[in-house]
Amino acid sequence: MPLQFDIRAVLRSKAPNAHVPGFVIRYLERIVHIKQMNAFLRQHPDLKGYDFIRTVVSEELGCTASIEGTEHIPTDGRPVIFVSNHPLGGLDGMIIAQMIHDNGERPLKVIVNDLLMFMEPIVDLWAPVNKVGRLSKEQAAEQQRMWESGVDVLTFPAGACSRLQRIDGHWQIRDLEWQKNFIQRAKEYKRDIVPIRFEGKNSRFFYVLAYLRKLLRLKINIEMLYLVDEMYGAHGKHFKVHVLPPVPYSTFDSSRTPRQWAEYVKNIVYGKNHTCR
């Protein structure tokens, strides 16, 4: 039987004791485009890995991307950490992963929400993180092996896609605070960091929903449910990706805390720091 995405199976795995009414499941199936996704899987039952990503982006979504700065992708074989802003929440990750692969076919793992482990055709590319709890022993062990191996790692330090924020008196679409984990890993495993800036944005509906949810102090990340809908809404768009000069791991000395260094790299991505110390 061909692979099919099943909302009920996902819900059972994340909340096995919860009763979800049928009308809620039907609504979820609509906003995650379950019929379109399963039709795509039926049409391409043998696609895996980067072939799957390329076909989703170019054929299913009709999206294109231009890449600047590929000369900054190291060619000496040493594993690095690619870090990027996260404006789209899914499609940007696929485009960047494909870009890295196409420029040297480097072995890569992408740190993602563990919900994406249900995407079986590309599950081998993912390194899961549980956003609503602690890593399982298996996930923790897998991540340890990843860092100790020679694979590159792509991570989105904000941990969530960008939100509409008021910065310096102006409304801007920017990442939330970047977590410090990638700085700690860069120092521990002596990996240089390659910053990436992805130009793109979601719909106004998405940002308004996220803002209202925060205004109402709701802890449940409601807007995350609409990320697949946002991906399909990006049909036909063109995106620009900028690969910036690597930051040596030796940069991250004791003059700043790991969190401050994370902010430093974030500012490089957004164009505030133009040189490395």
Residuewise pLDDT in 10s, the chain (277 residues): 456 788 888 788 777 777 888 888 899 999 999 999 999 999 999 999 999 999 999 999 999 999 999 999 998 889 999 999 999 999 999 999 999 999 987 899 999 887 777 788 998 999 888 655 566 677 778 888 899 988 999 999 999 999 999 888 888 999 999 999 999 999 999 999 999 999 999 999 999 999 999 999 998 889 999 999 999 999 999 999 999 999 999 999 999 999 999 999 999 999 975 443 3
* pLDDT at site 104: 82
| The model's pTM | 0.91
Measured N-to-C along each axis, helices 7-14 and 22-31 cross at an angle, to the nearest 10 degrees, of 110
Domains in the chain: boundaries: 1-46, 48-269
Total Cβ atoms within 10 A of residue 42:
11
CA angle, corner 197, sides to 146 and 121, nearest 5? 45
Q: What is the DSSP letter of 252?
A: -
Counts of helices then strands in the chain (DSSP H, E): 10, 9
Three-state DSSP at 196 gives strand
Q: What pLDDT, on a 0 to 100 scale, did the predictor assign at position 131?
A: 58
Reported as half-sphere exposure (CB side, CA atoms, 13 A), residue 89 has a value of: 26
| CATH class of the 48-269 domain in this structure | alpha beta
Which SS3 state, helix, strand or coil, does residue 69 take? coil
